[in-house]
Structure 1
Amino acid sequence: MYIEKINGPQDVKKLSLDELNALASEMRDALLHRASVHGGHFGPNFGIVEATIALHYVFDSPHDKFVFDVSHQSYPHKILTGRKEAYIAQEHYDDVTGYSSPIESEHDMFTVGHTSTSVSLACGLARGRDVTNGKGNVIALIGDGSISGGEALEGFNVAGEMDSNLIIIANDNQMSIAENHGGLYKNLKLLRDTDGKAECNIFKSMGLDYVYVKDGNNIEELIKAFKSVKDIDHPVVVHINTLKGKGYKPAETDKESWHWCMPFDIETGKTTVNFPDEEDYSSITTDYLRNKMKSDKSVVAITAGTPALYDFTPDERKAFGRQFLDVGIAEQTAVAMASAIAKNGGKPVFNVYSSFIQRTYDQLSQDLCIDSNPATILVQTASVNGMTDVTHLGIFDIPMISNIPNLVYIAPTTKEDYLAVLDWSIEQTDYPVAIRVPVAELVSTGKPCTKNFAELNKYEVAQQGGKIAVIALGSFYVMGEQAAKLIEEKTGTAPTLINPYYITGVDTELLESLKKDHDVVVTLEDGVIDGGFGEKIARFYGPSDVKVINFGLKKEFLDRYNPADVLKENRLTPEQIAEDAVALI
């Protein structure tokens, strides 16, 4: 076993070509068994094993600096840089993150989990090296899917004017998370078809030197190419043609499904995780939009490289034709196009993860909300109970987008609420509307929602009481119900329980009425409280005698946390909420 002897890049350099190929096989075997037990990003790592070995064979990390884009493909790099135990010993599987991390290793330059950033970061490293008279190579790794992102193209543009060492490895496996979309991929195909010899070359057109490797999974050819550019005195792109999922037939065949995986059986490729066969907010979104798009040809479903959010099959996506739009990894373009589609009579729905909508602040403000175009944005995994990697947190969306003028941000609490507000949003023509899709077990009342969502900022009083009012937003409404019961048990008086729905506005009439017979107002929100929903309520009551206590998450970067622990640390359990509220009376 060679993998067991690899304690750092220096050990890779000692191996012969045959031994390097054997190491590649062992690394794939380790990646396969770990993924089958642990899950995680699969296809990107399997496709870049040989390239990672060749990089560490030729270059001298960390003196030579590697920057991974997204770092979906960083597992082989971690194996070769002193972290192999996290891939060969099950008891250590959780010792590392799923992304590059300077906290883990000096061989990782940045914590990277969002796409299209590596070229810009590498340009910065190169400039920092040059102004301090430093030495060493700077190497950016970027997948073809990531090149569609605006920052990637900005980075390539800057790289073309660099006059010193900068090496960009363009890992072309003909896939993003799903299939690639966009005109630039026609040129990448032309370059592959001509073995890199086509005169039309997007990289050269930006002022970059260019090297093509036809078989990007051939260690010998990769070493030759990397040696040819090591210590180069100008920017160069090494375009390598690789196979996503290489070495595991199911992943080679179904590249989209195997971009990321849950634990699975290696023999069958089927997941070993039993998912309950029941409705959730994802399935009802898919069912609703599938039917809506069939009945109304003006509805356009938009995604920025994450079509799985819709759960439409590839065949369905093709069948919808112009009604399904994948802009590639370009969330900014998705928002701008949604605005323009709405402007020209269409009914756009942009489905996006909370952590990715952070990338669109300027477009939300400038391209969408100033003109108040009626696009619908579905904000997914916006919760402490969403994704838990530090780069994918869904707890910052409320402060970010709820303070943009003209935007209506709504947090439904039940299936019926959600479907009603989604239908209203698509059909209304007055506002851009964002919907914070609940991240919780599906709650259904079984009764049609009769709320008029066009009457903006009108909260709903679910229970009229006194002394204490609990205003519980979105996914935390159920927690508010539980806290209200405990408050009644402690005080003998039922508190008023309010479902606010609207994140972007304040029901001043209702809040004013609470002053008559309430001493304390409690707010609950599933996100950071700094700049959030609760502070709007606290600001309203500032000049009055009403005491306000805001419950939410403190502003911090969390990583791979247990949601239950975080909730308890922030006193976000029904018992703690009731205790703190009663203490203020």
Structure 2
Amino acid sequence: MVAPKTPLLDGIAGSSDLAPLSDGDLRKLADELRAETIHAVSRTGGHLGAGLGVVELTVALHAVFDTPRDKLIWDVSHQCYPHKILTGRRRRMDTLRQKDGLSGFTKRTESPYDPFGAAHSSTSISAALGFAMARELGAPEVGDAIAVIGDGALTGGMAYEALNHAGHLQKRLIVVLNDNDMSIAPPVGAMSSYLSRLYAGAPFQDLKAAAKGAVGFLPPPFQEGARRAKEMLKGMTVGGTLFEELGFSYVGPINGHDMESLLGVLRTVKARATGPILIHAITKKGKGFRPAESARDGGHATSKFDVATGEQTKAPSNAPSYTKVFAESLIREAAEDDRIVAITAAMPDGTGLNLFAERFPARCFDVGIAEQHGVTFCAGLAAAGMRPFAAIYSTFLQRGYDQVVHDVALQNLPVRFAIDRAGLVGADGATHAGSFDIAYLSNLPNFTVMAAADEAELRHMVATAATHDAGPIAFRFPRGEGVGVDMPERGTPLEIGRGRMVHEGERVAILSFGARLPEVEAARERLMARGIRPTVADARFAKPLDRDLILRLARDHEALITIEEGAVGGFGSHVAQLLAEAGLFDEGLRFRSMVLPDAFIDQAGPAEMYIEAGLTAADIEAKVLTVLDLGQIGKRA
């Protein structure tokens, strides 16, 4: 693969190197940066479309502002690859999203040019306002604070909370709205319609700026025309924009790919802004790479690909993905029950609900990047007698936790939570790991919590949730492909709080919760080669626990080991509480709980991450030998 020729980019080691460049050179630099971004992502895979959409904006921001003293904060930050290339990390782009490599998002420990880490949405304005107020209070080495937020992220309520607070404080703060009419999925909601109307009225924005007295924020070439426009508007009433009503000066919309417009506006804002100001830039996701531009999601995320054709390199699938099994199972249940509705928070493709929406468009709701609203929306649906399924990644459900507690659990409403990406997820790293949902749901009264050991179990759990009206119920499943088990045509509801015996054995019992069961079975094979025959059981439920099964395992074996893909405080902790209350520890039971370590695990391949977490077959084998006092072994033998 031939690298693009990039003579200007070759001379850039940091943002200060942009200062000597002419505006014409900055335009050429943007072209080189776009080519380099495409080349880099083609070798590693990753988020592509969002970064291509902000190439000119990235160059202009670093050329006009004094980063890293001026704090440039990217919302979500999946668009930050061009920013990384410009800020001294170009030579490491081939390590992107790999073990010990560059993060796919901004990360404070990676570079001083990343003043605030992100990977979840709608946080940038709050963080930038924090920097701005720290500056006002005398914090050293803090200049301007600039938040770059996409139109999709504006569907998250936290962004409005920050806008409202910033408008009240009236301190200098710069917000750039990167409006590409496309988040990961097509945008939804009134804000999208509002921004579209602003865009449609673009020729009149100079007139509005004149009428609102904001001529000073326009670049000098536009000021005279705006003054003339103001004369035309005498006697007319022009209403303010939503952003102006929140206390922001508003400039735009401007063409986010026109370097002259960007530089003019940013320089003027830098020179004159006193309070909060919002710059509305219209961009195109995937700009400059035809396969991305033509993709439905704007080339949001890709595996490795051929630059000439855009064709991606993907390994053949040996089994259906858990996400697809969930979607197809839910469609089967919904075909028999018109009370079933499905809800996603801006991730219809990622959760498989795009398939559900094709079959039942009136019963599928995308609430935007608004998990809090989505959870309470489901609570209202459940209170009205519907059977809502909230399909939300584990890491994103964290953002709706107060609503899970207050609006769902407290009222004992039968909302069904389909928790995708449970466990470690690979290249997206710690920000997207589903590490905490077992613990943060199992401690809630009224909740039922399940985990699928394989894709057939997932199908049964969808059926279980569909018929469970006694209260809230959740089932978790991992990212990626299933294990290739035989699949039932339709799921059969499970008995609530009942696990299953997988293998009868002796001396030690291994009780698995969730998708580590194949590793448990592999560990059993290794142990049997040593003459040890463990019992293996699949708990299925973290709440309610299968009390009879657990107490039987504890009483019939010398040792009991629990295994889960979650942080401490989850399944194993609940089992330990049960055993303690039943007095089993008083009788000499040896108990161990294998959980994710008390640390955030950086990105790597999923297999590498589970090695680091100590949850592989070799780790399980070693734990059994240790608990039986049979000595340590080489874990990787």
| Interval containing the TM-score (normalised by the shorter chain) | over 0.9
- Give matches, 1:348-427, under 5 Å: 348-386=388-426, 388-427=428-467
State the distance in 1 between where 2:247 and 2:256 align: 23
Are 1:221 and 2:264 an aligned pair?
A: no
CA-atom RMSD, angstroms? 2.4
Are 1:182 and 2:220 an aligned pair?
A: no
CA positional deviation for 1:396: 2.1
Are 1:333 and 2:373 an aligned pair?
A: yes
| TM-score under structure 2 length normalisation | 0.86
Deviates more, 1:535-544 or 1:112-121: 535-544
CA positional deviation for 1:301: 1.7
Identity %: 32
Partner SS, residue 100 of structure 1: coil
Q: Structure 1 residues 370, 92: closer, same or farther in 2, change over 3 A?
A: closer
Partner SS, residue 54 of structure 1: helix
2:292 to 251, 254, 275: 251
Show the counterpart of 2:24. Answer: 18
Deviations along 1:86-139, whole A, 9 cap, x unmatched?
Answer: 35xx57896422111222211111121111000000111111111126562111
Deviations along 1:405-433, whole A, 9 cap, x unmatched?
Answer: 21111012233322122012112211211
Show the counterpart of 2:574. Answer: 536
Are 1:128 and 2:168 an aligned pair?
A: no
Q: Structure 1 residues 512, 296: closer, same or farther in 2, change over 3 A?
A: closer
Are 1:509 and 2:559 an aligned pair?
A: no
Show the counterpart of 1:574. Answer: 617
2:280 to 239, 244, 261: 239
Q: Structure 1 residues 270, 465: closer, same or farther in 2, change over 3 A?
A: same
Contact 2:345 2:370 (8 Å CA) reproduced: yes
Unpaired segments ≥5 residues, structure 2:
1-6, 209-237, 629-637
CA positional deviation for 1:295: 4.7
Partner SS, residue 521 of structure 1: strand
2:511 counterpart letter in structure 1: I
Partner SS, residue 250 of structure 1: helix
Deviates more, 1:359-368 or 1:188-197: 188-197
- Give matches, 1:468-479, under 5 Å: 468-479=508-519
Partner SS, residue 622 of structure 2: helix
Q: Structure 1 residues 581, 127: closer, same or farther in 2, change over 3 A?
A: same
Deviations along 1:23-52, whole A, 9 cap, x unmatched?
Answer: 111111111112222111111111111111
Q: Structure 1 residues 193, 257: closer, same or farther in 2, change over 3 A?
A: closer
Contact 2:319 2:483 (8 Å CA) reproduced: no
Are 1:584 and 2:627 an aligned pair?
A: yes
1:99 to 105, 116, 124: 105
Contact 2:73 2:128 (8 Å CA) reproduced: yes
Show the counterpart of 1:284. Answer: 325
State the distance in 2 between where 1:211 and 1:318 align: 39
Contact 1:68 1:118 (8 Å CA) reproduced: yes
Q: Structure 1 residues 329, 273: closer, same or farther in 2, change over 3 A?
A: same
State the distance in 1 between where 2:396 and 2:477 align: 15
2:261 counterpart letter in structure 1: E
Contact 1:387 1:394 (8 Å CA) reproduced: no
2:600 to 529, 550, 557: 557
Show the counterpart of 2:301. Answer: 260
CA positional deviation for 1:448: 7.9
Deviates more, 1:534-543 or 1:31-40: 534-543
Are 1:140 and 2:147 an aligned pair?
A: yes
2:553 counterpart letter in structure 1: L
- Give matches, 1:151-166, under 5 Å: 151-166=158-173
Deviates more, 1:356-365 or 1:277-286: 277-286
CA positional deviation for 1:164: 1.8
CA positional deviation for 1:460: 1.7
Deviates more, 1:337-346 or 1:94-103: 94-103
CA positional deviation for 1:377: 1.3
CA positional deviation for 1:570: 4.5
State the distance in 1 between where 2:196 and 2:491 align: 53
State the distance in 2 between where 1:432 and 1:160 align: 39
State the distance in 1 between where 2:357 and 2:491 align: 33
Contact 2:152 2:182 (8 Å CA) reproduced: yes
State the distance in 1 between where 2:181 and 2:613 align: 44
Deviates more, 1:115-124 or 1:477-486: 477-486
1:16 counterpart letter in structure 2: S
Deviations along 1:312-348, whole A, 9 cap, x unmatched?
Answer: 659x746633211111111111111111112212221
Are 1:524 and 2:563 an aligned pair?
A: yes
Contact 1:309 1:351 (8 Å CA) reproduced: no
State the distance in 2 between where 1:446 and 1:292 align: 16
Count residues with an aligned counterpart.
Answer: 579
1:441 to 473, 482, 504: 482
Deviations along 1:264-289, whole A, 9 cap, x unmatched?
Answer: 22232221223326423222223233
Are 1:212 and 2:218 an aligned pair?
A: no
Q: Structure 1 residues 262, 579: closer, same or farther in 2, change over 3 A?
A: closer
1:79 counterpart letter in structure 2: I
